[in-house]
Amino acid sequence: MNELLELSAVHFGYPGQPPVLKGVDLTLRAGERIALTGPNGTGKSTLLLLCVGLLKPTHGQIRAFGQLRQREADFREVRARIGLVFQDPDDQLFCPTVQEDIAFGPLNQGKTLAEALALVEQTLSQLNLLHLKERVTYQLSGGEKRLVSLACVLAMQPEILLLDEPTNALDEATCERLIEILNHLPQTLVIISHDARFLRRVTQSQWQLKDGYILPLPSPLSPVPAHRHDGALRTLSGIKMMGSGR
């Protein structure tokens, strides 16, 4: 199987804080859909930030798409191919309107305005959110912001999607719609969630982060057929979080 992302003995701690990750090994292969669980504060979000180079390991290695990634420049291509939906939508959204927020990524990738606007339309339509297109981003509800955050990342057509607690603030019907959407996406997925029922429906295997280490969980998760890439996804360059400095 094609290894897209490999973390080997990754250690990390925030300055002046005890270590968060003490030797994490994780391999993500094309087409996999994995769940990442674990108690609050164990470093799940931190792990996703490390995967896209927004934080750097203190020790250990990250390989992505067949290459060792160490410096900021190495991670630019990674961030073009891995889309992270942050735990807090306010870290993702910073433009005045929904349309501008979603267009930002594609424009940053070098798309023309017409192409970017077409992607806005297509992504909002896919998520059934066209009615939010002209809305002022900061006035959206928590659940609306979460879905628009997902739209921002999907519009950049990444190969891997990292979703940090994507069901937070979603009502039951919207959560059902999200499950439906995720199960029809072609991307390889890593999903952090505390919602076991949701994870059972969208992922194939479960890992737990605890005490600085990651372990596979023998779980009753029933497999959901992974959607393979229909063809080569475009290689993209530049993403919003780079532009935002976050």
| Contact residues: Mg ion, CB under 5 A | 44-45, 87
Instruction: Rule CB under 6 A: say whether 123 interacts with ligand ATP.
Output: no
Q: How far apart are CA 93 and CA 149, in angstroms?
A: 7
Residue facing Mg ion at closest CB distance? 45
Q: Which region among 42-50, 71-79, 220-228, 236-244 touches ligand ATP (by CB under 6 A)?
A: 42-50
Burial label for 241, CB within 10 Å (0-12, 13-18, 19+), is: buried
- Minimal distance in Å, beta carbon 38 to Mg ion? 9
Instruction: Rule CB under 6 A: say whether 245 interacts with ligand ATP.
Output: no
Could you tell me the strand order of the sheet in which 33-37 lies?
82-85, 160-164, 188-192, 33-37, 205-210, 213-217
Q: How far is CA 176 from CA 6, 26, 201, 202, 245, in A?
A: 31, 29, 10, 11, 33
- Minimal distance in Å, beta carbon 121 to ligand ATP? 33
Question: From ligand ATP, Mg ion, none, which one binds at residue 17 (CB under 5 to 8 Å depending on kind)?
Answer: ligand ATP
Q: How far apart are CA 243 and CA 115, in angstroms?
A: 19
The secondary structure of the chain in percent helix, strand, coil, rounded to multiples of 5, reads 35, 25, 40
Instruction: Rule CB under 6 A: say whether 204 interacts with ligand ATP.
Output: no
CA angle 67, 160, 176 (to 5 degrees): 165
Instruction: Rule CB under 6 A: say whether 37 interacts with ligand ATP.
Output: no
Instruction: Rule CB under 6 A: say whether 92 interacts with ligand ATP.
Output: no
Instruction: Rule CB under 6 A: say whether 193 interacts with ligand ATP.
Output: no
Q: Where are the alpha helices (DSSP H) in the chain?
A: 44-51, 72-81, 98-108, 113-126, 142-154, 172-183, 196-202, 240-244
- Minimal distance in Å, beta carbon 111 to ligand ATP? 32
- Minimal distance in Å, beta carbon 36 to Mg ion? 10
Question: From Mg ion, ligand ATP, none, which one binds at residue 46 (CB under 5 to 8 Å depending on kind)?
Answer: ligand ATP
Nearest to 145 by CA among 208, 72, 211, 85: 85
Place of tokens 């991307």: 187
Q: Which region among 35-43, 108-116, 150-158, 237-245 touches ligand ATP (by CB under 6 A)?
A: 35-43
Instruction: Rule CB under 6 A: say whether 87 interacts with ligand ATP.
Output: yes
In the region spanning residues 135 to 164, those forming contacts with ligand ATP, defined by CB under 6 A, are: none
Out of 4, 32, 45, 85, name the contact with ligand ATP by CB under 6 A: 45
- Minimal distance in Å, beta carbon 23 to ligand ATP? 16
Out of 10, 20, 93, 116, name the contact with ligand ATP by CB under 6 A: 20
